[in-house]
Amino acid sequence: MKVAYRKATKKDIPVIQRFIRELATYEKLEHEVVATEELLEKTLFGDRPYAEVIIAEADKKEAGFVLFFHNYSTFLARPGIYIEDLYVRPEYRGKGIGKGLLARISSLALERGCGRVEWWVLNWNPARSFYDSIGAKAMDKWVVYRLTGDKLNKLASSG
């Protein structure tokens, strides 16, 4: 099996959306997906791209993707890379494609002077053992908070 990794372009929007939906289904969160091709085009390839995507192809077929963006560490005074989504289609799992995607992100992080690469994983996800095996460290002392929808609007309008 020949695997290639490439930066996504506008023509990949349907593939990116399909991968997002497949990942959401796997995570039992498909009810939360509201992304459309139009929104993906605007936010990934518009005047101000907010994230980047790398596509993995196995024998010229889309096998997986990683969607990421920069964050910043005040403690390190350096940028970092945050992985929003890393997904490999079931038939390609266990073949090194996920590791290859992470290796690409790690290389980009070093090229761009980043101090770290981070991502969240659902606690039941079997990929956690893979992440442990490559030396990633679970940040189990941190709690994730999120504001969305009405709560986000309410707080924004209070200031």
Mean pLDDT of 100-125: 97
How many other CB atoms are found less than 10 A from the CB of residue 157? Answer: 7
Averaged pLDDT score across all residues of the chain: 96
pLDDT score, position 159: 82
- CATH code at 88? 3.40.630.30
Number of domains in the chain: 1
Q: Can you read off the two tokens belonging to residue 80?
A: 């970092």
Q: What is the mean pLDDT of residues 112-134?
A: 95
> What does the pLDDT look like over 32-85, one tens digit per residue?
999 999 999 999 999 999 999 999 999 999 999 999 999 999 999 999 999 999
pLDDT at 15: 98
Q: What is the pLDDT of residue 66?
A: 98
Q: For residue 20, what pLDDT is reported?
A: 98
- pLDDT exceeds 90 at position 145: yes
Determine contact, residues 115/106, Cβ cutoff 8 Å: no
Q: How far is CA 77 from the centre of its chain?
A: 23
Query: pTM for this structure?
Result: 0.94
Residues serving a catalytic function are 131
Cα(73)–Cα(94) distance, integer angstroms: 32
Residue range(s) defining the domain that contains residue 124:
3-158
The pLDDT, as a whole number, for residue 81 is 98
